[in-house]
A = this chain, B = another copy of it.
């Protein structure tokens, strides 16, 4: 569904990778304002993905990984990615492994790393004297990330439990007098005493209001 245009390649020849999944659904992003329109009258049905020469323009790459062109540019600007070549008109041309790179960035970002931190990994990688050494360092980073993500999951699980407890606690309110005012909540005695008031509930009616009209 990408453009079928052939792009002149000016730079050095880049190793073209082949053998990837051929038919990728266009996967239009509905939440995005980005418009993925086909050229009018063009319906690239059988010509699934193989861009000529196997290189991708930045827009193709962006679509492939679900990012915006701006994001790709940004990644490049912080040293996370570089086009393998440029067209005669200075269009960025990416090999397919750029897809893996961007996805990799995305995952690490989801793991809570900043782009700068992710870039550090590449630096570590590039400066390592040997492959085993590089991998040791990468492993160390990943090991730490693993612990962090586990900690985070634990934290969220606790919060999950607290939200559940609060919802449970608040079910009692369904039986409350419909004319009762919120001001009375802080002195409410309708809740079971078996459960203490959750912090996610108690904090609501502290003596500090909001509206300042």
Which A positions have Cβ atoms within 8 angstroms of B?
Answer: 2, 7, 9-11, 14, 31, 79-84, 95, 97-98, 100-105, 107-108, 110-112, 119, 121-123, 125-128, 130-136, 138-139, 142-143, 145-146, 148-153, 155-157, 159-160, 162-164, 166-167, 170-171, 173-174, 176-182, 184-185, 188, 199-200, 202-212
Residue of B nearest to A33 (CB): B2
A177 to B31, CA, bound (A): 48
Contacts of A98 in B (CB 8 A): 206-208
A60 to B81, CA, bound (A): 48
In-complex Cβ contact of A211 among B123, B131, B160, B212 (8 A): B123
Q: From residue A185, how far is it (CB to closest CB) to chain B in Å?
A: 5
Q: Which of A81, A95, A157 has the most CB of B within 10 A?
A: A81
Contacts of A163 in B (CB 8 A): 111, 142, 145-146, 149
Q: In the complex the two chains form, is A206's CB within 8 Å of B146's CB? A: no
In-complex Cβ contact of A139 among B139, B167, B212 (8 A): B167
Q: In the complex the two chains form, is A207's CB within 8 Å of B84's CB? A: yes
Given contact pairs A101-B208, A211-B126, A162 touches B107 in the complex (Cβ within 8 A) = yes
In-complex Cβ contact of A166 among B84, B142, B173 (8 A): B142
Q: In the complex the two chains form, is A167's CB within 8 Å of B142's CB? A: yes
Contacts of A173 in B (CB 8 A): 131-132, 135-136, 139
